[in-house]
Amino acid sequence: MSKRLMVVSLLCVVILLMGSLSAFAAPRLVLRAGDDSTEDYPYHQAFKAWSEAIWEASNGEIKLEVYSNAVLGYERELIEGVQMGTIDFCTSSLGPFGSFAPMIDTLNLPYLFKDVDHLVRCLDSGLAAKMNAYVEEHDPGFYTLAWICGGGRSFYTKKPVYSVADLKDQKIRVMENKVYIDLVNMMGGKAVPMAYGEVYSGLQTGVIDGAENDPGAYYTQRHYEVAPNYALDVHTIDITGLLASKKTWDNLSNSDKQILIQCLPAFIEAGRKSWAQLTVDALNALREEGVNIIEVDQEEFKEAVMPLWDEVLDRLGSDLVDFVLSVP
């Protein structure tokens, strides 16, 4: 081999090595996101899509590490971590928001949204922007960047629930939220605020007789094993927020913020698509597992809790609810 050919070959090897090293170069910025769901749940799928979009848009300079399965804690712990700045991003249902931005709690009112499509239309028509502004005004230590559907919540119990009367004196786990507590109590049940991670054992040991959640959570957390009756009253269609630590966000450069913001559609699209698919798949899987899926008279359930509307709106204000009701 001639010297010239050897030099060219060595140069090619050097160029290839440099390319390989640059491909494995450490990212300039590493951020952490947490949720308390399984990896096949929409929260994780939304974070995964956002993470991939951020990595591509930043040319590998920004890495979003996603921790699911409550590795960083359950919902309350995740929010506290975001407030302290030990976690950069997390997802949260509307349940805890009564403590941070009270009027947001009005969106937990039962039977507010007609269906998931109506919720999406509301978010896209300006509700999301109103919610973001309202949260920022109350300065809870985080910003909300995006909102997606959090699933339609229904009751699951050890004993079948065919009507409101069947909920009488049943101990039903709820989030630590006044609207949810009052909802269950108004239907004749006994609301039991309890951490999400304790629901399975609570059902197993008889501390509670049932709980309420969307089909995906009910299935993926295997709660049907200890509460095999699912009454489809769909009393609440939940909204899930993407929370950003104020400490983290305020210290990001404008260019980094812009990258994260421009990639948010990936989070929203993946979250919506995953929710729609999971709801169908979960209900089918539950039927295959022999779960008693009960089609109840939703109007009966709705009538039982309508007095809750007046109490909540008088206490917290009606601006957000008025907006929802204005969207066809």
Q: Domains in the chain, please, with CATH? A: 26-326 (3.40.190.170)
pLDDT value at residue 25: 75
Backbone angles phi, psi at 244, to 5 degrees: -120, 130
Distance between CA atoms of 328 and 114, rounded to whole angstroms? 9
pLDDT value at residue 8: 36
Which residues are within 8 A (CB) of 90 and not within 5 positions of it... i.e. 6 or more apart? 33, 34, 35, 72, 75, 78, 79, 81, 82, 243
For the cut 70, the answer to whether the pLDDT of residue 177 exceeds it is yes
What six digits make up the tokens of 231? 């009454």
- The pLDDT of 283-296, averaged and rounded, is 98
Residues above pLDDT 70, as percent of the chain:
93
Within its chain, how far is the Cα of 118 from the centroid? 18
> Three-state DSSP class for 46?
helix
pLDDT value at residue 10: 40
For the cut 80, the answer to whether the pLDDT of residue 171 exceeds it is yes
Q: Quick one: pLDDT band at residue 152, thresholds 50, 70, 90?
A: very high
pLDDT value at residue 13: 36
Q: Quick one: pLDDT band at residue 97, thresholds 50, 70, 90?
A: confident
Which residues are within 8 A (CB) of 20 and not within 5 positions of it... i.e. 6 or more apart? none
> Three-state DSSP class for 66?
strand
Residues above pLDDT 90, as percent of the chain:
89
SS3 of the chain: helix, strand, coil, percent, to 5: 55, 20, 25
Exposed (0-12), middle (13-18) or buried (19+): which is 259, by Cβ within 10 Å? Answer: buried
Tell me what the pLDDT averaged over the chain comes to. Answer: 92
Distance between CA atoms of 2 and 9, rounded to whole angstroms? 11
For the cut 60, the answer to whether the pLDDT of residue 117 exceeds it is yes
pLDDT value at residue 3: 47
Say if CB 81 and CB 246 are below 8 A apart. Answer: no
Q: What is the DSSP string of 215-255?
A: HHHHHHTTGGGT--EEEEEEEEEEEEEEEEEHHHHHTS-HH
Tens-digit pLDDT profile for residues 9-55: 444 433 333 343 344 579 999 999 999 988 989 999 999 999 999 99
- The pLDDT of 246-260, averaged and rounded, is 98
pLDDT value at residue 24: 54
- The pLDDT of 276-290, averaged and rounded, is 96
Say if CB 234 and CB 298 are below 8 A apart. Answer: yes
For the cut 50, the answer to whether the pLDDT of residue 149 exceeds it is yes
What six digits make up the tokens of 290? 């022999």
Tens-digit pLDDT profile for residues 45-81: 999 999 999 999 999 999 999 999 999 999 999 999 9
Evaluate if pTM is beyond 0.85: yes
